Structure 1
Amino acid sequence: MKDLLNLFADVALLVWGTQLVRTGVLRAFGSNLRQVLAHSMGNRFTAALSGIGVTALLQSSTATSLMTSSFVGQGLITLPAALAVMRGADIGTALMVVLFSFDLSWLSPLFIFTGVVLFLTRQDTLAGRIGRVVIGLGLILLALQLIMVSAAPLLATPAVRALLGSVGSDLLTEIILGMLLAVMAYSSLAVVLLIAALAASSMISLDAALGLVLGANLGSGLAAVLTTAKSAVEVRQVSVGNLVFKMLGVALMAPCVGLWLRHVQPLLPGPTHGVVLFHLGFNVIMSVAFIGLTQPVARLVARLLPKKPDTSASQMRPRHLDPSALPMPSLAISCAAREALHQADVVETMMNGMLTVIKTNDLRLAQELRKMDDTVDELYTAIKYYMTKIPREALDEEESRRWTDIISFTINMEQVGDIVERVLIDVEDKKIKPGRSFSEAGMAEITELHARLVDNLRLGMSVFLNGNVHDAQRLIEEKMRFRDLERRYATAHLDRLSENSVLSIETSSLHIDLISDLKRINSHICSIAYPILDSAGALAPNRLKTAALGQDNRRS
C-alpha cells in the first residue's frame, strides 16, 4: 500500500512540475508568445513552426490550443491558421517528451535549488517567474526518477503484474485508458513520460504502452474541448477541429502499432526510446499528412458549430470575456479591455439616442434606451467578475496598472449610463408628457453640449485603448472648456428667463438640470485621462501640469 501511495505521489509531482513550467512561462513570456503566434500567420507552414516553438516552451499543446482559440475568438486569426498552429503544437510537445526521456536526473537538484532561490528572493520580478519555471523542470526530472524507484517493488507483486497484464489485452481499451489519464492529468506530456517510465520498468508491455500513447494524444485534444466548452463558438471551433485531427491521426496510426513493434522497435535501444519516438513519429506524421487539410476541417467544424446570428440581444451580451484566457493573465487583460470598449459602445448608443428623444419626443425610443442601461450594468458586473478571476500575483507592474485602468473605465461608463437613464426619465416627465418644448436657443445649446460630449467620449475611448499622453491631456483640457461652456449657457438661460420667454420658463428646471447632467457625464468621461497622465508624471498634486508633452509620448 505504501509503495502504491508513493507511486501516486510521484505521478502527482510529475503533473505539478509540468503545471509549474506552463504557468511560469505564461506569466514571464505570455505577451511575447502571443506576439509570436499573431505574427506568424502568413501561411500554414510558418503557423505550424510557431506552434512548435511556443509549445516547446509551454510544454503543453493544450495551453497553446487555449491561447490560439482565444485569438480566433477575438477575430485576430482565422480558424484554418489556428488549426495549422495546432499541427505544430503537437510536434512541440513530442519533442519535449524526447528531451525529458534522457537521463537528466543529475540536473534535478541544481534546477530545484536555483529555482527556489530565484523565486523566493525575486518573486514579483521576471527572475522570480523564471525561477518558477526552473523549479518545475527540476520537479519533472525528480518525479521521473522517483517513479522508477517506486515502480520496482510494485512490479514484484503478483497482483499488480496480473492487473497490468490485462491492460494489453485490447487496443481500444488502451486508447480509452490513455485518453482518460491525459484528461485527468491535463497534460499529455506528463502522461507519455509516465507511460515511458512504466514501460522501462516492465510494469506494462511495450504494445500496451503504444496504445496508451495514442490515447494520451487523443486525451490532450479532448481536454482542450472540455476546457473551452463554455467559451464562444469561435473558440470552441479550434479545440473541436484539433480533436478531429487527433481522431484521424489515431485512426491512421492504430493499425501501425504492430508494424512499429516488428520493424522499428528492434532498431532502438530500449522501451523508453520506443515509446517517446513512437509519440514523436505519430505527431510528425499526423502534422505532415494533415497540414493540407486545415481548410476542409475548418469548413467541417464550421458546419458542426455554426456561429449564431448577431441579434440585437446577443450584441449586447458580454462577448469578449473568454474564460479559457484566464490562465494567461496578459491575454485575459486584453479580453477585459475589449469588453470594456464594448460597454462604452453601448453607452455611446444611449447618448446618441438621448438627443433624438429630446428633439423628437419619442417615448418608445426613450424606453428602449433606458433598458440599455441594464445592459451597461450587466456588462460592468461581468467585467468586474472576470477581472477578479485573473490572478493578481501573476501580473507585472504594467499589467497591474492596466487592470486598475479597466476597472476605473468600466465604473465610469456604468455611472454615465445611470445618468443618461435619469436624463431620459426627466425628459419624459418634464417635457414629453406635459407637451413642452425648449426654446430655439436652448435647444441649440443642448445640441452643442451633446456634440462635444460624444466627441469627448470617443476621445476617451481612444485614450483608454492606446494610452496616448497627448490625447489624455487634450481630454482634460476639454473638461475645462466644457465646464466654462456649461456656465455660459446656464447664464444665458437665466437671461432668457429675465426676458419672460415662455418656452424658457416652462422648461427652466429641466434645462438647468440637463446641462448640469451633461457636465457630470463629461466629468466621468474625462476621468479616463487621469491614470494615464499620473503614470506619465504629467499631473501636479491639484492640477494638470502646464508643460506640454509630445504627441508621441506614451505611457511606458
Structure 2
Amino acid sequence: MKHLLNLLAAVALLVWGTHLVRTGVLRVFGGNLRKFLARSMRNRFTAALSGIGVTALVQSSTATSLMTSSFVGQGLITLPAALAVMRGADVGTALMSVLFSTDLSWLSPLFIFTGVVFSITRPASAAGRFGRILIGLGLMLLALQLVVQATGPLFDSPAMRAVLVSISSDVLLEITIGAALAVVAYSSLAVVLLVAAMATSAVVPLDVALGLVLGANLGSGVLAVLTTAKSDIAVRQVTVGNLLFKLLGVAVAAPFIGMYLQYVRPYVNGATQLVVLYHLAFNVVVSVGFIFLTGWVADLVKRLLPVPKEGSSTARPQHLDPSALSTPTLAISNAAREALHQADIVETMLIGMLNVIRHNDLKLAEELRKLDDVVDRLYSDIKYYLTKISREALGEEESKRWTDIISFTINMEQVGDIIERVIIDIEDKKIKPQRNFSEAGMAEIVELHERLVSNLRLGMSVFLNGNVRDAQKLLEEKARFRDLERAYASTHLTRLMDRTAPSMETSSLHIDLISDLKRINSHICSIAYPILDSAGALAPSRLRESRLHPIDNP
C-alpha cells in the first residue's frame, strides 16, 4: 500500500507541475502567444509552425486548441488554418516529452528554489508568475524521478504483473486506458512521461507502453472536445476536426507498433527514449502526412456540425473567449469589451425610445423590449465569465477593473429595465389611448433625451479610458439633469394651471417619464464614481454616499 501511495503521489505531482507550467505561461505570455498565433495564418505550413512554438511553451496541445478554436469562433481565422495549427501543436508537445525524458534531474532543485524565491519576494509581479513556472518545471522533473523510484517495488508483486499481462493482450484496451488517463490528468504530456518512466522500470512491456502513448494522443483530442462541449458550433468544429485527425492517425499507426520495435529498437538506447521518440515520430508523421487533408477534414466537420444561421449577432456574447480565462489580464479586457457591447445595445434602446414616443411605433416598441432581454442575458454572461477568472492571479489594478466592470454592467442592465418600463407605459398611456404630449412638453422630453444619449456616450468613454476630467464632467451632468428635471416638472404644472388639454391628458405619464429619465441618468453618471474615487477626486461626503445610492440621491 505504501508503494502504491508513493506512485499516486508522484503521478499527482507530475500532473500538478504540468498544470503550473501551463497556467503560468498563459498568464505571463498568453496575450503575446495569442497575437503570435493570429498573425501566423498566412498558409497551413506557417500555421503548423506557430502551433509547434506555442505548444512547446504552453506544454499543452489542449490549451493551444482552445486558443485556436476561439479565433475561429470570432471569425478571425478559417477552420482549415486552425486545423493546421493543431497539427503543429501535436508536434510541439511531443518535442517537450523528448526534452523532459533526458536527464535533467539536476535542474529540479535549482528551478524549485529559484521559483519559490521569486514567488515569495515578488508575488504580484511578472517575476512572481515566472517563478511559478519554474516551480512547475522543477516539480515535473522531481516527479519523474519519484515515479521511477516508486514503480519498481510496486510492480514486483505477482498480482500487479498479472494485471499487466492481461493488458498486453489487447491493443484497443491499451489505447482506451491511455486515452482515459490523458483525460483524467488533463495532460497527454504528463501521461507520456509517466508511461516512459514505467517502461524504463520494466513495469510495462514496450509494446504496451506504445499502445498507451497512442491512447494518450487520442485522449488529448477527446479532452479538447469535452472542454468545448458547450461552446459555439464554430469553436467545436476545431476540436472535433482535431479529434478526427487523431482517430485517423491512431488507426493507421496501431498495426505498426511491432514493426517500430523491430526496426528502431536496435538503434535506440533505453526504453524511455524509445517511448518518447515513438510519440514524436507518430505526431510528425501524422502532422506532415495529413496536413494536406485539412481542407477535406474541415469540409467534413462543417457538414457534421453546420453553423446555424442567425439573424443578429448582438444576441450573443462577442468577446467572452473561454480560452482567455487562463490569462486573467486578457480575460478582463474581453469582459470590458463585452460590457461596451452591452452598452451599445442599451444606446440603441435609448435612441429608439424617443422614436416610439414621437411616432407611436408599436412594432419598434416590441423590438426594443426584446432588446432588453439581450441586455439581461449579456449581463448574466459577463458576470458568469468574470466569476471564472482566478482572483488570486489578479493584481491590484486588475481587481479594481474587475469590480468596475461588474458595476458598469449592473448599471447598464438597470437602464435597460427602466427603458423597457417606459416603453410599456408609452404603449398603455399614450399610443393605445391615442394621446399626445403638448408641443412644449415634447420639446422638454427631447432635450432631456438628447442629454441622456450624450451622457451615455460620455459614460462609455469614461469606462473605457478612465479619464478623470471626463468623469468629473459626467458627475456635473448629474446635477444639471436634476435641475432640468425639477424645472420641467414645474413648467408642466404651469401648463396644467393654464388648462392645456394635451398636458392634462398626459400629466401622469409626463411626470413619470421625466422622473424615469432622471433615474436613467443617475445610473449612467454613477460610472464616474469608481474613477474619481481611485484618483482621490471624490469628496468624502455627499458624493461618496451617492456612489452607494445613486438613485436615492435627489
**Structure 1 length as normaliser, TM-score?**
0.88
Shift of 1:346: 3.5
CA distance in 2, matches of 1:389, 1:507: 48
Deviations 1:224-243 (A, max 9, x none): 10111111112211111111
Matched with 2:501 is: 502
Matched with 2:253 is: 253
Aligned positions of 1:144-543 closer than 5 A: 144-311=144-311, 316-318=315-317, 321-323=320-322, 325-363=324-362, 365-366=364-365, 369-370=368-369, 372-465=371-464, 489=488, 493=492, 496-497=495-496, 499-532=498-531, 537=535, 539=537, 541=539
Distance 1:226 1:421, change over 3 A: same
Shift of 1:484: 6.3
CA distance in 2, matches of 1:527, 1:163: 67
How many positions carry a matched residue from both structures?
Answer: 541
Provide structure 2 residue ranges, at least 5 long, that are not aligned to the other structure.
542-554
Shift of 1:452: 4.2
Shift of 1:489: 4.9
Which amino acid is the alignment partner of residue 188 of structure 1? S
Which amino acid is the alignment partner of residue 235 of structure 1? V
Question: Is contact 2:70–2:322 with CA below 8 Å preserved after alignment?
Answer: no
Question: Is contact 1:232–1:319 with CA below 8 Å preserved after alignment?
Answer: no
Distance 1:80 1:523, change over 3 A: farther
Distance 1:474 1:281, change over 3 A: farther
CA distance in 1, matches of 2:283, 2:105: 26
Shift of 1:43: 2.8
Provide structure 1 residue ranges, at least 5 long, that are not aligned to the other structure.
544-556
Which amino acid is the alignment partner of residue 196 of structure 1? A
Distance 1:529 1:51, change over 3 A: farther
Shift of 1:92: 1.4
Deviations 1:504-527 (A, max 9, x none): 333344334323322332332243
CA distance in 1, matches of 2:79, 2:471: 37
CA distance in 2, matches of 1:475, 1:292: 57
Distance 1:343 1:437, change over 3 A: same
* SS of corresponding position for 1:17: helix
CA distance in 1, matches of 2:213, 2:152: 22
CA distance in 2, matches of 1:125, 1:142: 26
CA distance in 2, matches of 1:470, 1:287: 55
Shift of 1:391: 1.2
Distance 1:88 1:465, change over 3 A: farther
Which amino acid is the alignment partner of residue 411 of structure 1? I
CA distance in 2, matches of 1:77, 1:534: 41
* SS of corresponding position for 1:326: helix
Which amino acid is the alignment partner of residue 231 of structure 1? S
Distance 1:468 1:80, change over 3 A: farther
After TM superposition, the structure 1 stretch with the greater mean CA deviation from structure 2, 113-122 or 330-339, is 330-339
Question: Is contact 1:232–1:322 with CA below 8 Å preserved after alignment?
Answer: no
CA distance in 2, matches of 1:474, 1:295: 55
Deviations 1:243-294 (A, max 9, x none): 1111222223223323322222211112111111111111122222222332
CA distance in 1, matches of 2:472, 2:437: 34
Distance 1:70 1:110, change over 3 A: same
Question: Is contact 2:225–2:240 with CA below 8 Å preserved after alignment?
Answer: yes
CA distance in 2, matches of 1:368, 1:445: 25
Matched with 2:552 is: none
Deviations 1:366-399 (A, max 9, x none): 4554454344334323322332222111123443
Question: Is contact 1:316–1:346 with CA below 8 Å preserved after alignment?
Answer: no
Shift of 1:76: 3.0
CA distance in 2, matches of 1:61, 1:538: 46
CA distance in 2, matches of 1:505, 1:180: 75
Aligned positions of 1:42-191 closer than 5 A: 42-191=42-191
CA distance in 2, matches of 1:47, 1:116: 36
After TM superposition, the structure 1 stretch with the greater mean CA deviation from structure 2, 445-454 or 65-74, is 445-454
* SS of corresponding position for 2:106: helix
Question: Is contact 2:532–2:538 with CA below 8 Å preserved after alignment?
Answer: no
Question: Is contact 1:27–1:395 with CA below 8 Å preserved after alignment?
Answer: no
CA distance in 1, matches of 2:45, 2:153: 48
